[in-house]
Amino acid sequence: MAIALGTPFVFVAENGGVVSHSDNEFEILADINKCECAFQELSKVFTLHRHDSRYRFTDITLRRDFDIQAASKQLQDLDLDVELIDTAFAVHIKDKTVNKGTGLQHVAEKLKIPLDDFAAVGDSDSDMPMFELAGFGASVGNASRKLKAISNLVAEDNHGNGFLEIVNYLNEFLI
């Protein structure tokens, strides 16, 4: 997306576990080993199907075909430092110590830009920590109810078209 918008390669990915500062510099903030351990433990109780993880560095994505609430309880009972995040596309096993807000804080510090100067765009509950820190939060039309409730702007369109609507709004606002 950075290329299409003509912006630098600065982004937060993997639920805050990866922060890119440029096209050749990034930080890994989360511990994938915690997630692997949790996956092994959950696999003893649940049949889990992993998504292709070739490009994942800090969390594990799973198909949404298991009892997510029961698995979350299992993780709590095991007292592992991970959590399950359901993004409506997949379920992520992620390190509890990071989130998208943590990632945004790292970007803001590196760029020396106040958090209030950032606009966050999202669609799921996992975006909430980032929205709570950014000066402006916009969600696409298909976003979760919780995220829409804390958004400054909710696009009428879904997915990519909703994102484009938000970019156009911000472009008009900044001119």
pLDDT tens for 67-125 read: 999 999 999 999 999 999 998 889 999 999 999 999 999 999 999 999 999 999 999 99
User: Both ends of the chain: CA-CA distance in Å?
Assistant: 21
Average pLDDT rounded to a whole number, residues 128-148: 97
Is residue 48 within 8 Å of residue 42, measured between CB atoms?
yes
- Does 85 lie in the same domain as 37? yes
Q: What is the pTM of this model?
A: 0.86
- Does 24 lie in the same domain as 53? no
In the listed set 63, 78, 95, which residue is the last one of a domain according to the structure? Answer: 95
- Does 104 lie in the same domain as 19? yes
Q: DSSP letter string over 17-76?
A: TEEEEETTEEEE-S-HHHHHHHHHHHHTTS---BPP-TT-SS-EEE-S-S-HHHHHHHHH
Nearest 5°: the CA angle 75, 73, 146 is: 105
pLDDT above 80 (res 9) = no
pLDDT at 6: 62
